[in-house]
Structure 1
Amino acid sequence: MYQSAYAEVLDERPQTMRDSEREAFDRSIALLEAAERAGPGTREAAESLHFLIRLWSILLDDLASPGNSLAPDLRAGLISIGIWIVKEADRIRLEEADSFVPLIEISRTIRDGLKGQNS
């Protein structure tokens, strides 16, 4: 009985992880949209960039882990995207760029891809 319950938890774990990742992207998108309305240099901008960089730091660590089960090409692509996002966030923070729109659009695309994995 306990073994079957444990097996069910293990089977649900990837689903739960994807749900958590999707929720993190939802939160990040909401913060980025608020920052886009408020503009660079605002509290909203700082909060959104901090959250975005923390999110991608966690994701990049996981993607670089030898235990990550994603296909190598997909991992490499996501790592490239993550590096670009962190660099773009820094550009906004340093006021070298002023639009959050590219970050929002890419975040939505990735979030929507996570939804597709659950179907």
Structure 2
Amino acid sequence: MAEKARLAYGAMDRGIQSPRDIEYKAFAKVTRGLKLAAESGKFQVSERAKALHENRQLWTILATDLAGNGNKLQPTLRADLLSLAAFAIKQSSLAIRDPSLLAGLIEVNTNIMRGLGAQK
């Protein structure tokens, strides 16, 4: 996932970063966009659409990595994260019309960030 995240979101720092650092920063960037979209109100559809598109992209990259043969996470954790990815992708699509769903997406991403931060 780390290499795909780096390609999708660009190198945020030029220093040496762990895969967890890269994933954390990708989630932080996307979550910040979701928060800004939530704060801008329900009538700012273009901002919300952009933030939700970036969230779908991130979760799609994550799901692709999780489904790959080279992923070394435990099968149970992989399955749980794949289910979460499917949920996040679907909710991101639904949130275009229903901005109240942004709060749940922000919470999911924030919890992922907590997990990534705790494992450093």
Q: TM-score, normalised by structure 2?
A: 0.80
Query: How many residues were matched structurally?
Result: 103
State which of 55, 59, 80 in structure 2 corresponds to 1:77.
80
State which of 11, 23, 26 in structure 2 corresponds to 1:24.
26
Q: Distance in 2 between matches of 1:37 and 1:83?
A: 25
Q: Superposition RMSD on alpha carbons, in Å?
A: 1.4
Structure with bigger gyration radius: 1
How far off is 1:25 after superposition?
A: 0.6
Q: Distance in 1 between matches of 2:41 and 2:51?
A: 11
1:57 aligns with 2:92: no
| 1:109 alignment partner AA | N
Structure 2: 5+ residue runs without aligned partners? 1-15
More helix by share: 1
Which residue does 1:104 correspond to in 2? 106
Structure 1: 5+ residue runs without aligned partners? 1-12
Q: TM-score, normalised by structure 1?
A: 0.81
Task: For residue 73 of structure 2, give the secondary structure of its aligned residue in structure 1.
Answer: coil
Over 3 Å off, 4+ runs? none
Q: Distance in 2 between matches of 1:39 and 1:62?
A: 33
